[in-house]
Amino acid sequence: NQKGGVAKTTTTVNLAAALSEQGEKVLCIDLDPQANLTMSLGCQMPDELSYTIADIIDQAIAENPIDLMPSSIQLSGYETVLINEYGRENMLRQYVDAARPFYDHILIDCQPSLNILTINALIAADSVLIPTQPQFFSAKGLELLFQTYSKVQRKMNPDLKVEGVLVTMMDRRPNFTRGVVDLIRSTYGGSVKVFDSEIPMSIRAIECGAEGKSILAHDPKGKVAEAYRNLASEVIDNAQREKCRAYQHTAVR
């Protein structure tokens, strides 16, 4: 989602934590120079790291898989570094493809703009998970988002799927937010998956970003943790179904 503050980073952290809790092996890649994901996962001084995703892009090769591929401000210069590079859209893909066999899920947290880094993510990815807030303008923004998605799919990554639209920060004003969520479900539900799980608004979610912890660690019995666990189950089901489909496809062929 090109909008900031819709819980992209929060969702990356907590979906990763919930998947991991369910026994899945997860790699998180922070592709935002602001390094919020890196900080949310406990690394408070990203600019002092000696090795980040920027170095990976430099080398465009991977040696040892690790569980967090952090970001730092160093990455902010990569738009200009990449712009002159041959195959610049595929730099991240090389790394992700090398890391793929070691993980059940690889989550890439993007920044809220469609630049060369985000394009790298969309080319490296199998699918996009789109967090959105239950507000009228966010719902309208989805239209633009799907246009961008179709363009990327058509021109750069024909295999790119929509994992699902995730409604985040649901509050308890039923006739206001519920109406928007119903609109999202009726408009898009037929063509893409809109996750059954909806993430409630909670002050506990805001607290844990600064703590460098997931909400599953900070407030394990809370409703946000529960919602992210449900989301993780839906993502695992999706992956299973996708695997079956791919298997049947090869079997038929």
Q: Which residues bind Mg ion (CB under 5 A)?
A: 8-9, 36
Q: Cβ atoms within 10 A of the Cβ of 154, count? A: 10
Identity of the residue, 9 or 197, whose beta carbon is nearer to Mg ion in the bound complex: 9
Of 15-23, 153-161, 172-180, 203-211, the window that binds ligand ADP (rule: CB under 6 A) is 203-211
Supply 157's token pair: 């990554």
| Residue 145 contacts which entry, Mg ion, ligand ADP, none (Cβ below 5-8 A, type-dependent) | none
> Residue 91's closest CA among 54, 137, 45, 66?
54
In this structure, what are the phi and psi dihedrals at residue 51, rounded to the nearest 5 degrees?
-145, 120
Site string for ligand ADP, 95-134 (x = CB under 6 A): -----------------x----------------------
Q: Given candidates 108, 199, 216, 225, which one binds ligand ADP under the rule CB under 6 A?
A: 199
Question: How far apart are CB 253 and ligand ADP at their closest, in Å?
Answer: 40
Exposure string for 44-62, b = 16+ CB within 10 A, e = fewer: eebeebeebbbebbeeeeb
Distances (CA, A) of 35 to 130, 185, 253: 19, 32, 44
**Partner that binds at residue 119, options ligand ADP, Mg ion, none, CB closer than 5 to 8 Å by kind:** none
225 contributes a contact to ligand ADP by CB under 6 A: no
